[in-house]
Amino acid sequence: MTDPRCGVVKNIRALAVAVPVATGLFGVVAFPHAPSARGGAVAYLVNVTVRPGYRFAKPTTLTYGHGVSGKIAQGRGYAEIMGEVKPDFQTADEFQASYQISQAINELCPALIWQLRNSAAHHRPPAP
């Protein structure tokens, strides 16, 4: 489910292919006239596919990020979403899971930032 406050990239497959190709050819991705929804999607793709620890099949990367945003839009709490993201990436690392969640919200649906922050306000990582 996509929240109406969030932009939707209409051709996700084309974007998922264009970013790695553009990066490979030019060494940098630049879309000077891109709408914010597409620009956010590009930033999200670059941030979570270049960062070590995330192993996405490229077309599913945006789907996953929009899924995280959808969970926040549904009112699910930060701790609950953290509990789902960790097994998805086969990690117990709080930072890895937190990074994925924050990138999804910051780049794909910034209208939900405060909702996420409010739900995470008193979150404490579990003791090791």
pLDDT mean over 14-28: 50
Closest CA to 72 of 123, 47, 106, 33: 106
| Residue ranges of domains in the chain | 35-120
The predicted pLDDT at position 79 comes to: 92
Chain-centroid distance of CA 75 in Å reads 17
**Under a CB-based contact definition with an 8 Å cutoff, are residues 62 and 44 in contact?**
yes
How far apart are alpha carbons 79 and 23 in whole angstroms?
35
Q: Regarding predicted confidence, which is higher, 106 or 30?
A: 106
How far apart are alpha carbons 41 and 103 in whole angstroms?
10
Q: Could you tell me the pTM of the whole model?
A: 0.66
pLDDT mean over 98-125: 91
Q: Regarding predicted confidence, which is higher, 93 or 39?
A: 93
pLDDT (tens digit, 9 = 90+) per residue, 30-71? 444 344 556 788 888 888 777 666 665 555 778 889 999 999
